[in-house]
């Protein structure tokens, strides 16, 4: 005798999806509206910060795709971002390409590098791979970043203008929307494929390689796919980033950034794309809140370190995992679900209010 399938609400989507009730539809819509409204609500400083957040979330996403989805540790994320950033800058500055072409080439330039690191990665165990990526990052830094001024502008770096495609995206507000659009597209794409057989094959590869192979899953194909995807997203993020700050030199793309991204994503939850978002929030909150208070800036790194150790000791899936566990508890209780939805909307409105009232001034309160 089997329980009715309807009664158990086996979801339409799989892999951790939760059924979206009406309340949450509303909450999600509220967040979406806020997101779009940000530039209208607040001054250019905060718009800039939010754009920054989106770029970093995207960089984090590239790491999630690689480390989270197929379990390949990479500590060269910043290098790929840098490659993308410089490529987009170089083709614009030297060849006059339009932004969309520059961004595209930024993504594509990472492909040969992903290939280069991907194949050795197949042979290396987890920890050894981490070291290999560090070595690769160092090599690229020495040979490409420092050794090829055409691409990277040497020590003075490259300068670019904000994009102009049909309409100018010069202003912080317009650029924010551009980045938001790209980010949402990438997020949607990731959401879709991660819930499909492709995502499942990747997870299977990560969880139990031998089993996946025995079942006919081509682990080489899926690992390389993850490397490519991760690289393209990183490169694209790099292009977006350099156009945000309008300038960049290779100093910005060194080890520290790779580690920062890694930290951010691990704390947020390396296995889930929401983890990239949460990590980005953690990062931005850190830097913005602590920036205002001089005394606290030195604690940023301590917070990161402690965050990492917390993740490792208590919940390997980071904030995303923690929230997911809490949600598993909440979702069976309709009153609590309603409460959470309301809290979500309240938080959203609260943030909007804060932005409107204080956003005009620079810096945190």
Partner 1 sequence: MSRSTSVALPAQPVAPAQAARSSEGDTNTTSLFECRGIDVSFGGLKALSDVSVRVDEGEIVGMIGPNGAGKTTLFNVISGFLVANSGKVLLDGRDLTGLLPYERARLGLGRTFQQALLYRDLSVLENLLIASHRHTRRGLFSNGLRLGAAAREEREALERARATMDVVDLTPYWEKKAGALSYGTLRMLELACMLVQAPRFVLLDEPASGIAQRETEALGPLLRRIREQMQTTILIIEHDIPMVSGLSDRMYAMDLGKVIAEGAPAQVLAHPEVVASYLGRPETVGLEESPKPARRRPAPRRTAGAPRGGGSPT
Partner 2 sequence: MLYLNLAIIGMTEGAVYALLGLGLILIYRSTGVLNFSQAAMAMCSAYVAWQITTSAPWLTVWGALAITIAFGALMGAGLYYLIFSRLRDSPPVARLIASVGVAFILPALVRVVWSGQSERGLHLPFQFGSGVVKFSSIALQVQKLGLIAVTVGCGIGLHQWMKRSVTGTALRAVAQNRMAAQMAGVPERRISAAAWAIGGAMAALAGALYVPLAYLDPNMMIPFLPKAFAAALLGGLVNLPMGLVGGLALGAVESVFRGMHGSLPRLAETVGALGIVAFLLIRIERFFVSEHELKAIEQ
Q: Which residues bind partner 1 (CB under 8 A)?
A: 1-3, 5, 8, 10, 12, 14-15, 189-190, 192-193, 195-201, 203-204, 207-208, 210-212, 214-217, 225, 229
- Of residues 145-184, which lie at the interface with partner 2 (CB under 8 A)? 146-147
**Selected range binding partner 2 among 155-163, 212-220, 262-270, 333-341, rule: CB under 8 A:** 262-270
**Selected range binding partner 2 among 26-34, 85-93, 211-219, 258-266, rule: CB under 8 A:** 258-266
- Of residues 53-82, which lie at the interface with partner 2 (CB under 8 A)? 71, 73
Q: Which does 300 bind (CB under 5 to 8 A by kind): partner 1, partner 2, none?
A: partner 2
Task: Name the 3-class secondary structure at 3.
Answer: coil
**CB-neighbour burial class of residue 81 (10 A; exposed 0-12, middle 13-18, buried 19+):** buried
Tell me how long the chain is: 365
Query: 162: phi > 0 → left, psi -120 to 50 → alpha, else beta; which?
Result: beta
Cβ contact 270:64 at 8 Å: yes
Residue 287 CB, nearest approach to partner 2 (Å): 14
- Of residues 296-325, which lie at the interface with partner 2 (CB under 8 A)? 298-302, 304-309, 311-313, 316
Alpha carbon separation from 23 to 29, 106, 278, 335, 338 (Å, rounded)? 10, 40, 22, 11, 7
C-beta of 3 vs 127, nearer to partner 1: 3
Cβ contact 360:42 at 8 Å: yes
Residue 305 CB, nearest approach to partner 2 (Å): 3
**CB-neighbour burial class of residue 77 (10 A; exposed 0-12, middle 13-18, buried 19+):** buried
Q: How many residues bind partner 2 (CB under 8 A)?
A: 41
Q: Which does 165 bind (CB under 5 to 8 A by kind): partner 1, partner 2, none?
A: none
Q: Which of 259, 327, 347, 358 binds partner 2 (CB under 8 A)?
A: 259
Residue 108 CB, nearest approach to partner 1 (Å): 15
Beta bridge partners of 158: 248
Tokens representing residue 38 in the block: 């940000």
Q: Which does 56 bind (CB under 5 to 8 A by kind): partner 1, partner 2, none?
A: none
**Selected range binding partner 2 among 10-18, 167-175, 256-264, 347-355, rule: CB under 8 A:** 256-264
Tokens representing residue 167 in the block: 């309409």
Is 143 a binding residue for partner 2 by CB under 8 A? The answer is yes
- Distance between CA atoms of 153 and 145, rounded to whole angstroms? 9
Number of neighbours of residue 57 by Cβ within 10 angstroms: 28
Residue 33 CB, nearest approach to partner 2 (Å): 37
Cβ contact 359:43 at 8 Å: yes
Helices (H), 249-333: 255-268, 273-292, 299-313, 318-330
Residue 204 CB, nearest approach to partner 1 (Å): 5
Which residues of the chain form contacts with partner 2 (CB under 8 A)? 71, 73, 120, 123-128, 130-132, 134-136, 138-139, 142-143, 146-147, 255, 259, 262-263, 266, 298-302, 304-309, 311-313, 316
């Amino acid at each position: 005798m089997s329980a009715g399938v309807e009664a158990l609400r086996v979801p339409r989507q799989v892999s951790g999806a939760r059924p979206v009730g009406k309340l949450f539809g509303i909450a999600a819509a509220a967040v979406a509206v806020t997101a779009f409204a940000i530039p209208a609500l607040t001054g250019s400083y905060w718009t800039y910060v939010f754009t920054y957040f989106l770029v970093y979330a995207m960089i984090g996403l590239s790491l999630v795709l690689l480390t989270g989805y197929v379990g390949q540790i990479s500590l060269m994320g910043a290098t790929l971002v840098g490659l993308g950033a410089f490529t987009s800058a170089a083709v614009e500055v030297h060849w006059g390409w339009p932004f969309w072409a520059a961004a595209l080439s930024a993504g594509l330039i990472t492909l040969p590098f992903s290939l280069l690191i991907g194949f050795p990665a197949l042979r290396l165990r987890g920890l050894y791979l981490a070291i290999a990526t560090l070595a690769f990052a160092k090599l690229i830094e020495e040979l490409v970043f420092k050794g090829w001024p055409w691409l990277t502008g040497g020590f003075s770096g490259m300068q670019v203008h904000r994009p102009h495609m049909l309409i100018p995206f010069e202003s912080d507000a317009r650029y924010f929307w551009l980045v938001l659009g790209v980010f949402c597209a990438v997020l949607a794409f990731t959401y879709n494929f991660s819930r499909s057989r492709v995502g499942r094959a990747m997870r299977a590869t990560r969880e139990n390689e031998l089993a996946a192979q025995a079942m006919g899953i081509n682990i080489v194909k899926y690992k390389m796919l993850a490397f490519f995807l991760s690289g393209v997203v990183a490169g694209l993020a790099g292009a977006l980033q350099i156009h945000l700050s309008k300038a960049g030199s290779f100093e910005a793309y060194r080890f520290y950034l790779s580690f920062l991204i890694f930290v951010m994503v691990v704390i947020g939850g390396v296995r889930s794309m929401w983890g990239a978002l949460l990590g980005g929030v953690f990062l931005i909150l850190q830097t913005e809140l602590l920036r205002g208070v001089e005394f606290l800036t030195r604690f940023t790194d301590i917070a990161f370190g402690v965050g990492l150790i917390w993740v490792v000791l208590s919940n390997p899936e980071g904030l995303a995992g923690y929230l997911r566990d809490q949600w598993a508890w909440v979702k069976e209780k309709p009153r609590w679900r309603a409460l959470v939805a309301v809290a979500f909307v309240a938080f959203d409105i609260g943030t909007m209010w804060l932005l409107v009232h204080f956003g005009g001034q620079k810096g945190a309160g």
